[in-house]
């Protein structure tokens, strides 16, 4: 199969994703510099908060959404061995999302949307920002629809057959995103856009925060599922082994989708507008959603162990040394799992209902989510790019050794960046400050950690530049040599002969989600229509 259209779709989407990524990396490094106060002339809250808002939007919305769409189209076409359904529709979605990004970029870069990627009404941004962000999401819904259609078309054509795991995970992510993004879409369409256009005078901050919390947690699983997909469908093969269990992988993905959705209130633990009963309910769900991660870790490590032993590794830990460490996918998964362990530990602290008070909105939190997102997830995006780019562009990877160096430096930089970040949080430093102006003894102890963060950031920035350089050199290589490899999906250790329908379909799970969401969010949202609430007028910042 030649997949010309799919290759073009994947390359276009991923190019947008990684362009956003490299821009955002420069902004990130500027931010650690600015906040440290090392170079006094850099000190400007105006530039800093415009930068933080842009960094957040580029990383959390643009890099992720475009990468996931591009990866999804290619995964669907290759795992189902069928062309993408209605490619012209896919391009429409791409165009809508890209237009949305450009529209939002105008106010972001001119400092007219310094409301962070989490919006924070009643501070009000220029309406282009909200419209742009909404269009980006609407464009991504086109991708979701195409994935779901392809999933069911394949099932219809192949009754009783297990849907290939790669497509199963991708469709799960599309459904997760449809459910997840509904919250922020409701907030944007019914609250923020009419308000920023002056059609309404006020906004209800409590309702806006509740709707955003609907999106805010599962969105991180939307970012994470491609990484898990690579764990399951690429890593075992690249390591020279088999997937330990196909069925349990499906179950893990289903639990991830079902339980990640109704737990957003752990972002509102410290908020006065939701009652403690709802917070506890969401808190319990938050712990249940750690299960699929525990299971994924086991399955991936078990698959790696088989690989190590097949390659002659002996003894309790001997298999680790005999893994193919010079394979980018294998190296990335090891580093990714390490960061997941540390990031997950921090996450359990955040998730722990009352203990959260000690770290809420401190520097601990960005430390945590950088480890999970920029660490665990994005390092797998790198590995996927290194794996797919040569296949997509039909040119060999410019340098495998440099790619390995890039992964190592990303990991090292991330460690140096996030360890002090966590410590700063424990020392009480709030997140989202552009400088330390408090005249207090406590704040003196923050200084050395801020300086360490600059070093971590610099290593990561260099690593990011190297990553983009490698893709660029691969894409624009003059070599005549054509790289002819195809994508290879891992085979399960035990072939899947028959699957219960609930592990091969989402109809049942959509119903479960609908009920669970209604229970978790029904009253907390409806309360704003029964309570005697006082809405806020718009404020600048």
Catalytic residue IDs: 217, 221, 368-370, 431-432
Residue 212 neighbours by CB under 8 Å, 6+ apart:
118, 119, 183, 184, 187
How far apart are the C-alpha atoms of 246 and 229, rounded to whole Å?
12
Q: Residue 304 in contact with residue 333, Cβ under 8 Å?
A: yes
Vertex 429, ends 427 and 434: CA angle to 5°?
A: 155
Cα–Cα dist 192/448, whole Å: 40
Report the residue number, 314 or 494, with the smaller CB distance to another protein: 494
Instruction: Name which of 271 and 505 has its Cβ closer to another protein.
Output: 271
CB 521 within 8 A of CB 215: no
Quote the least distance from Cβ 21 to another protein, whole Å.
Answer: 23
Structure tokens at 178: 């449809």
138 vs 110: CA distance, rounded Å = 24
Pull the structure tokens for residue 510. 């959509």
- Of 379, 383, 380, the C-alpha closest to 411 is 379
User: In the complex with another protein, which residue's Cβ is closer, 364 or 389?
Assistant: 364
Q: How far is the CB of 415 from another protein (least distance, A)?
A: 25
Q: Smallest gap, in angstroms, from Cβ of residue 179 to another protein?
A: 23
Q: How far is the CB of 222 from another protein (least distance, A)?
A: 22
- How far is 541 from 539, CA to CA, in rounded Å? 6
Pairing state between β 536-537 and 202-203: antiparallel
- Cβ atoms 35, 450 nearer than 8 A: yes
Closest CB 435 distance from another protein, rounded Å: 5
Task: Write the burial class of residue 495 (CB in 10 Å: 0-12 exposed, 13-18 middle, 19+ buried).
Answer: exposed
**Residue 101 or 243 having the CB closest to another protein:** 243
| DSSP run (H or E) holding 336 | helix 328-351
User: Within 10 Å of residue 354's Cβ, how many Cβ atoms?
Assistant: 11
Which helix (H) or strand (E) segment is 17 a member of?
Answer: helix 4-36
Distance CA 124, CA 138 (A): 22
Task: Using the minimum distance from each CB to another protein, give the nearer residue, 485 or 519.
Answer: 519
Q: Is the CA virtual torsion 430, 435, 438, 443 positive or negative?
A: positive
Measured from the CB of residue 232, what is the shortest distance to another protein in angstroms? 14
Would you give the end-to-end CA distance of the chain in angstroms?
54
* Smallest distance, another protein to C-beta of residue 61, A: 18
Residue entry with tokens 């410290």: 270
Distance separating alpha carbons of residues 377 and 52, to the nearest angstrom:
20
Tokens of 426: 């424990």
Q: Using the minimum distance from each CB to another protein, give the nearer residue, 123 or 405.
A: 123
Residue (352 or 415) nearer to another protein, CB:
352
Q: For the CB of residue 215, give the shortest distance to another protein in the complex, in Å.
A: 17
Looking at beta carbons only, is 139 or 264 nearer to another protein? Answer: 264
């Amino acid at each position: 199969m030649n997949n010309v259209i799919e290759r073009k779709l994947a390359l276009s989407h991923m190019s947008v994703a990684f362009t956003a990524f490299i821009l955002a990396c420069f902004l990130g490094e500027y931010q650690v510099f600015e906040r440290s106060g090392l170079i006094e002339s850099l000190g400007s809250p105006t530039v800093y908060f415009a930068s933080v808002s842009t960094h957040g939007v580029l990383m959390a919305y643009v890099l992720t959404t475009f990468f996931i769409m591009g990866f999804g189209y290619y995964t669907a076409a290759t795992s189902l061995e069928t062309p993408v359904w209605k490619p012209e529709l896919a391009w429409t979605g791409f165009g809508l999302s890209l237009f949305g990004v450009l529209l939002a970029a105008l106010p972001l870069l001119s400092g007219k949307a310094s409301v962070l990627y989490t919006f924070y009404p009643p501070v009000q941004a220029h309406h282009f920002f909200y419209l742009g962000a909404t269009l980006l999401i609407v464009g991504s819904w086109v991708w979701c629809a195409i994935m779901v259609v392809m999933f069911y078309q394949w099932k219809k054509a192949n009754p009783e057959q297990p849907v290939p795991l790669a497509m199963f995970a991708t469709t799960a992510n599309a459904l997760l995103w449809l459910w997840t993004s509904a919250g922020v879409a409701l907030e944007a369409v019914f609250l923020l856009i009419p308000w920023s256009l002056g059609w309404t005078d006020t906004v209800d901050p409590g309702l806006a925060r509740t709707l955003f919390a609907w999106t805010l947690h599962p969105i991180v699983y939307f970012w994470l599922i491609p990484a898990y997909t690579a764990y399951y469908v690429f890593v075992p093969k690249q390591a020279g082994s088999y997937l330990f269990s196909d069925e349990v992988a499906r179950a893990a993905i289903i639990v991830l989708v079902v339980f990640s959705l109704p737990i957003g209130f752990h972002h509102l633990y410290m908020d006065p507008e939701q009652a403690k009963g709802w917070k506890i309910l969401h808190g319990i769900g938050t712990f249940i959603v750690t299960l699929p991660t525990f299971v994924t870790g086991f399955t991936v490590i078990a698959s790696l162990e088989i690989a190590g032993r097949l390659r002659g590794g002996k003894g309790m830990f001997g298999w680790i040394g005999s893994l193919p460490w010079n394979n980018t996918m294998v190296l990335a998964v090891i580093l990714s799992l390490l960061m997941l362990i540390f990031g997950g530990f921090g996450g359990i602290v955040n998730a722990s209902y009352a203990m959260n008070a000690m770290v809420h909105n401190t520097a601990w939190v960005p430390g945590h989510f950088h480890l999970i997102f920029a660490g665990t997830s994005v390092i797998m995006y790198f590995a996927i790019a290194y794996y797919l780019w040569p296949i997509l562009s039909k040119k060999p990877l410019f340098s495998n050794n440099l790619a390995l160096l890039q992964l190592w430096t990303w990991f090292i930089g991330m460690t140096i960046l996030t360890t002090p970040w966590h410590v700063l949080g424990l020392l009480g430093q709030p997140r989202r400050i552009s400088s330390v102006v408090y005249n207090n003894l406590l704040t003196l102890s923050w200084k050395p950690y801020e300086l360490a963060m600059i070093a971590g950031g610099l290593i990561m920035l260099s690593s990011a530049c190297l990553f983009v350089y490698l893709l660029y050199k691969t894409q624009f290589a003059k070599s005549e040599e054509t790289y002819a490899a195809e994508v290879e999906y891992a085979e399960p250790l035990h072939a899947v002969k028959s699957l219960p329908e609930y592990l091969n379909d989402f109809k049942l799970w959509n119903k479960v989600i609908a009920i669970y969401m209604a229970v978790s969010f029904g009253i907390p949202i409806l309360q704003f229509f029964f309570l005697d609430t006082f809405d806020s007028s718009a404020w600048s910042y």
